[in-house]
Chain A
Amino acid sequence: MSSATLEIKLSRPSRIYCPSEPLDGKIVVKSASSISHRGVRLAVNGSVNMQVRGGSAGLIESIVGAVKPIVIVNRIIEVRPSGRIASGTTEIPFSVTLKQSGNDNHDRFYETFHGADINIQYLLTADVTRGYLHKSLYTTMEFILETDKAELLDQPASPEMVIFYITQDTQRHPLLPELKSGGFRVTGKLSIQCALSDPISGELIVETSAVPIHSIDIHILRIESVLFGDRIVTETSLVQTTQIADGDVSRHLMLPIYVILPRLLTCPTTLAGPFSIEFKVAIVISFQSELSKMQAKSDPRTPRLWMAMETLPLELVRTR
């Protein structure tokens, strides 16, 4: 039984790197006895994995199939030629730069993203190959890729704010009769172009509402589209819900909208050929109603009789 362990340690605890930056780190081998090997290798792997599920594309419900992944980067470096690793702890440093100066335009380094249907992931794999009699040592670690600072735009001069109104008349789904008759009006503004490092900001004012409000929530939605054959399959899913009002808040009082974007689950809005990742923000007002108590748990995106909502597109950008 070999007691050797392998570990990758990156220079940054956050594991966030840009393509043009050197990815520094070390492979740490801990072993009770010395190990002879046929080389220590490090593989850098980046790919876009997509899948298509049933759902909005009703036709292909049965074909839950993986789409061929797009390889962003795939490189193997020999960090150490075959030889022997002494017993104890051995650190083998490495440094890789993803973006090679020769072919800039060839690969596009999408940012790391973990979605429902689309996964953009970068992995480092270290392995120590040994003889027939021995199992090779092997470890994997994910690192996070962010777009190069040099390529980025400066912060948008003025964050684009849109003004929204939510009233009984702006709703496209049926409402409770008391909501229809009593009426309500919620206004506000929201930044719809937003830097990933900043919160989504805005404000909201409940001007009138005859029916007491139960809750106001901000949903961040992602829209993942995948080119599947000659069709584009689009799936919308919920990323994060943030409540901004709990209960029947005072009228005419400005409530701030402040939503921190979750890492990994969001990335810059991406429109690539074979796939696209877009975001939306939905402001959902739920009113107090006996009906809502009966069905407490439900998908917040489903329009309900006691809810009013407004969905706005959200462009996420990486800024300097």
Chain B
Amino acid sequence: MEFRPRNYKQEKESHALHRTRVDDHPLCTPSTSHRQVVGEHHTENFFDPLRGPNTNVGEAFHNLPDEERTSGGFCTERDNQHTRDWNSFKRLLMQRFPISKMISISSISDGIMKSNKVDEISSTSSRLEELDDPQKSAKEGNASITRQEYVFRLNDFKEKIVQAWHSEDRVTALKFTIKVARLLMDTSVRQFYPTLFVLATDVMDMLGDMVWERIKQKAEFTVDGNKLCFLAENFDANGVCVDAKETCNNWFYKVGSIEDLLPRVYLELAILPCWRFLLIQPADCLHRLVKMIRGLADPLSSAYCCLYMVHRARKLLSRDTAYLITCMNDMNILLMDALSLKRDVSKTCVEKRRLLISLIEPTIEYIVHHIFEDTPKEQLANALVNLGIGGKGDNKVVSCLSIVAHCYIKELPADMVRSKSKEIINLIECCNDCSLDKSLNYRLLGFRLSETTSPQDMVDVVDHVIQVVLLWGKLDEYLRVMDAFLDLVLQNQMGNHILNVLEGIAMQARDKAFTEEELGSLQSILVKFVSHFEDLEELFALNHYLEILDMMYGRPRSIVNMHILDRAIRKGLWHDPHIIQLLFGISKSLIDEIDQTSMMDYDYQQPARLITRFVSMVDYGSDVERHLAFLVECRGAFGCINELKEALVHSSNSLAIQGLKHSNKQFSFIMSCIAYSEVTIPSISSPMKQSNLYIETAEVALLGGLVSHAEGLTESAVSCLQSLVVNGLPGIADVEGILSSFQKLCSLLVMVPWNKSNIGPSLNYAPKSLFVFTDSQSKLIPRTTTRLFSAIILLSAALSQEILPYNANNFGIPGNDQLFYGDSSYSQELASISQLAVQKLVDVIQWEHSSDARGIMALEACNCIASSFRTSPETSIICVKLLETAKLCLGAHDKYVKSTTKFLETCSLTSPDAEQEGI
């Protein structure tokens, strides 16, 4: 078998596609006109994956407005909107206060207990005990009931009410509802109260709606069912007939005769909308009701009663909020009484208070929200004055609870927060109670202020706040507040304040370890700085910034570090040694922190990626030696990151090339780069990666003229591949990887010059060893084996040419063609290897079980052999045999079979005699 001589230059020219100039970059977004032209010319099924979705996007945009129109809420009624709001609020309320399984209830809730007859025996026995020791039972007047039982019984009530209503027994329905309302008098259930409220008000809402419907029915239809009139959505009492009014009045009489205040108020609220049948201005009732609620001394029941009032009042279609303002002011007074120190201050009491506040908070929030939502813009200022925010006299003692102030700040429209910022600060200052920490109010104010970007000058406010908070002298509070105000400061470019904030932190943090909470705030603050300063140099130049960062520890510090690195890798290459050093330090502390805590993959990946990216973005320019020193340092510091080591090898290799380009003289530098790579690669865990890096380094070494190094490296690459195969069955991805590395290696070997030894030319690590490798793994991964052998054949064929397809001449390395072309032992060596390979190749194909795969393998082999060897009887037989195999496996009409047949024909045209010989 003889190698086919090739003229690569000519082949390239003849096979190259005809090239034409284009005006646009193929990947940039094409103008539509251009696209049309393209479409006309190439009507075949051309699909550009980068361009494909464009049309769909356009369609999607067209569709959008339609969808919005259908789902958007213009046509939906305000009432429905409110119902939705209320429902979601109720859900939140129930979620916010998860309840224990057992609910302890006091004797007030006996309504729920009485409905249960099973407990009768125990209740009589407890009554006997009561007689024995009345004081004891008075103290312990609590019973327990499971949550499910409670809910079940409430539902039972609900069913009974519906039943009674439908059997025309409305008085009974009302009586049951009163029983349900009475349950709300028992505030000893504490944690369960919000849930109880939701359940009980559901029942009351239901009754209220039924009453409403009944009266509406009476107003619109006569007893006989004839239509009297139609009540429009916004009807008033004038259009309602006497009969309906009479019924309506009766309901209010019934409800008015309830003895206890709380159920009476609740029931009136339930049927509150019905006032519209009687009064022209039904909303006036709210002013009375809000004052009636004052009679409820328990803050919890009072607050929830107010909440229910707000909910029901929405049905009056009135936008009057004056009653809500009264309500808030009352609640303020009530809560202040409840929290004032006149009552005992034991630990349990503090706990209780905290629970109380948390239970009441959602109600305050809801009410305040509605005040600010419903009050017309022009009256808002006035409403604020009535709420005690910004009265005329500054000396006016504003009495407001922290938690209430908190809700005010939270719910005020953003522009009002800005314009009233001074008044709000006054308000916060005046709050001196335990319901909420003052700093939280300042914090919220900070956030709210940064919501809008009105031109108003906030410098005074920020100044004031910084001073006030500094005076407290508590670091945690300072951080908490500054965290919030930082947005504002940064937004408005208040340079001095930025420094003041940092200085304040540094001053207070000196000689003090941060607590968890402080670290959290610090993290947030420092990250805000990072995202504000696009230029890291500017950030690092800030006084105290790095000092503070240094004081931090743990996960928060890592997070800040990661943000800094993330910022660093977005900027481009880093040249400044000082900054590089800082970033290196940051990376180091990041990795140290991770080492100390956990090695969870998740925690690890992000920092590893960031550091790797940063390292590869470092560029010392022409100072390559310093760069290499940096790489050495990196390897020492971040030895544990596999990803990084890979990047380090890449960097050092590119450094070597850079050194090569700048001056050929720095041979020793290139040596040290290669040595660096050589040392680094073995520590990388994946053999696949190792081998690829070896190949890369070998290329570099070859270019640097270090032929023996290159050889050594290729050897290592092969042994890596070998180890992959030895260590068990490689996965599909690995197989692909092995194949491509192998092919790459073969193509590299074309350039590596052989040695001239006494016995003739020999490659230390010649295709022979590749052959050995291929042979050894052929049993494990037979399907790729053909390709591996093909690669060996192609390599041998290439080496046999008079002119190699490519060489490393530019770097002063002679090619094998120059060295050995015509040398008989050289070509003999090549021939013997390739012959062996052909033999193996044919064998391997026979072992393959799957006929499809066998066919394709045969064709691949056939193509390889035909293009590598001169036509001869020997090769023809092999090729024809392979082709037959392929035809058997794939069928004669297979595209690949056909094209291969064609290719064989073009090859054999040159020597028709071969065919005759075959016959």
Contacts and interface: CB of A to CB of B under 8 A. Distances in A.
Q: Do A and B come from one complex?
A: yes
Interface of A: 13-14, 199, 213, 216-217, 240-250, 253-256, 258-260, 262-263, 290, 293-294
B129 to A, nearest CB: 16
A293 B138 contact: yes
A290 to B, nearest CB: 8
A276 to B, nearest CB: 25
Contact of B185 (A246, A250, A255, A259): A246
A260 B297 contact: no
B376 interface: no
Contacts of B138: 290, 293-294
> Interface on chain B toward A: helix, strand, loop, or mixed SS?
helix
B257 A246 contact: no
Contacts of A254: 291, 294
B253 to A, nearest CB: 6
A247 B330 CA distance: 15
B256 interface: yes
A249 B246 contact: no
B253 A246 contact: no
23 contacts: A13-B247, A199-B256, A242-B256, A242-B259, A242-B264, A243-B261, A243-B295, A244-B292, A245-B294, A245-B295, A246-B295, A246-B296, A246-B297, A247-B296, A249-B295, A249-B296, A249-B297, A250-B330, A253-B294, A255-B291, A255-B294, A256-B288, A293-B138
A246 B330 contact: no
Contacts of B262: 246
B288 A258 contact: yes
Contacts of B292: 244, 255-256, 258
Nearest to B337: A250
Interface string B694-715: 0000000000000000000000
Nearest to B291: A256
A241 B297 contact: no
Nearest to B107: A296
A247 B294 contact: no
A255 B294 CA distance: 6
Nearest to A241: B259
A293 B139 CA distance: 10
A170 to B, nearest CB: 22
Given A243-B295, A245-B295, A245-B297, A250 B333 contact: yes
B330 A253 contact: yes
A258 B295 CA distance: 12
Contacts of B294: 245, 249-250, 253-256
A246 B246 CA distance: 31
A256 B294 CA distance: 9
B298 A13 contact: no
A246 B187 CA distance: 12
B439 to A, nearest CB: 29
A213 B330 CA distance: 18
B213 interface: no
A248 B295 contact: no
Contacts of B334: 250
Interface string B222-247: 00000000000000000000010011
B295 A244 contact: yes
B226 to A, nearest CB: 16
B297 A216 contact: no
Nearest to B243: A13
Nearest to A253: B294
B252 interface: yes
Nearest to A214: B297
Nearest to A14: B246
A255 B246 contact: no
Contacts of B243: 13
Contact of A247 (B252, B257, B298, B333): B298
Given A14-B246, A247-B298, A249-B297, A260 B291 contact: no
Contacts of A253: 294, 330, 333
A22 to B, nearest CB: 17
Contacts of A246: 185, 260-262, 295-298
Interface string B272-297: 00000000000000001001101111
B291 A243 contact: no
Contacts of B259: 217, 240-243
B30 interface: no
B134 interface: yes
Given A255-B294, A263-B253, A290-B138, 14 more contacts: A240-B259, A242-B257, A243-B260, A246-B185, A246-B262, A246-B298, A249-B294, A250-B330, A253-B330, A254-B294, A258-B288, A258-B292, A260-B252, A260-B256
Interface string B437-476: 0000000000000000000000000000000000000000
B304 to A, nearest CB: 14
A217 B295 CA distance: 11
A148 to B, nearest CB: 18
Interface in B386-401: none
A243 B264 CA distance: 9
A293 B138 CA distance: 8
B252 A248 contact: no
A243 B134 CA distance: 27
Nearest to A244: B295
B332 to A, nearest CB: 10
Contacts of A217: 259
A245 B330 CA distance: 14
Contacts of A244: 261, 292, 295
A247 B253 CA distance: 25
B384 to A, nearest CB: 22
Contacts of B247: 13
B325 to A, nearest CB: 15
B285 to A, nearest CB: 10
Contacts of B260: 243, 246
Contacts of A199: 256
A243 B297 CA distance: 12
B297 A240 contact: no
Contacts of B296: 246-247, 249
Contacts of A258: 288, 292
B246 A13 contact: yes
A242 B264 CA distance: 9
A150 to B, nearest CB: 19
A143 to B, nearest CB: 14
Contacts of B337: 250
Interface string B319-334: 0000000000010011
Given A14-B246, A253-B333, A260 B298 contact: no
Contacts of A247: 296-298
A262 B185 contact: no
B618 to A, nearest CB: 69
Interface string B794-828: 00000000000000000000000000000000000
A266 to B, nearest CB: 11
Interface in B330-389: 330, 333-334, 337
A243 B295 CA distance: 9
Q: Which of A248, A256, A259 has the most CB of B within 10 A?
A: A256
Residue among B185, B243, B295, B337 having the largest count of chain A Cβ atoms under 10 Å:
B295
Contacts of A293: 138
Nearest to A294: B134
A254 B185 CA distance: 22
Contacts of B257: 240, 242, 260, 262
A13, A240, A250, A293: which has the most chain B beta carbons within 10 Å?
Answer: A250
A256 B295 CA distance: 9
Nearest to B336: A250
A241 B257 CA distance: 8
A246 B261 CA distance: 7
A167 B330 CA distance: 25
A244 B333 CA distance: 18
A2 B92 CA distance: 63
Top 10 closest pairs, chain A to chain B, by CB: A247-B297, A260-B256, A245-B295, A243-B261, A256-B291, A249-B297, A14-B246, A246-B261, A248-B297, A241-B259
Contacts of A14: 246
